Structure 1
């Protein structure tokens, strides 16, 4: 399921030279200028980095909840149930994450 979602994300993002991919959380993490943008989870859910300001709007969207891998929620990171990720919703999540991550300074490669 995560591989299918990753392919859909690749298609939605297109050929942006500033987007990278790394393996993370058992799925694929997509980065923008080295900063985490969105990622796939093993169960086909999406992880989106939306930041604190957009979080209330993000949590109001269908299937959204704050990321919680370790019993401690992480502000600004949203998990979205796979059943709520049609192509329109996926595009909206990528756009929301891009609004937050896009202005961030590029990460320096180690």
Structure 2
């Protein structure tokens, strides 16, 4: 399955290849699952429990920084692209159009 944003970002979920701004990168399995989850729920804030279940197959526990580390890695990979990962205070994270938000 290939997920995309306006033809500028493509994620091949099977091969974990991210194509963005003329470059291709191979994501880790967890990074790929996280990006796929965020792309499918684009524009919707997802809590850490939901993200952890989708990316790691387990429940999130207080103090677990796995999601935060994965988000940090993906933010670096998505720089300059059409979308960015936004922190939603008290909730978690969401994928939003870059044009709708100031850069971090």
- The question of a shared fold, defined as TM-score above 0.5 by the shorter chain, is answered with no
Could you state the TM-score of these two structures normalised by the residue count of structure 2?
0.29
Could you state the TM-score of these two structures normalised by the residue count of structure 1?
0.28
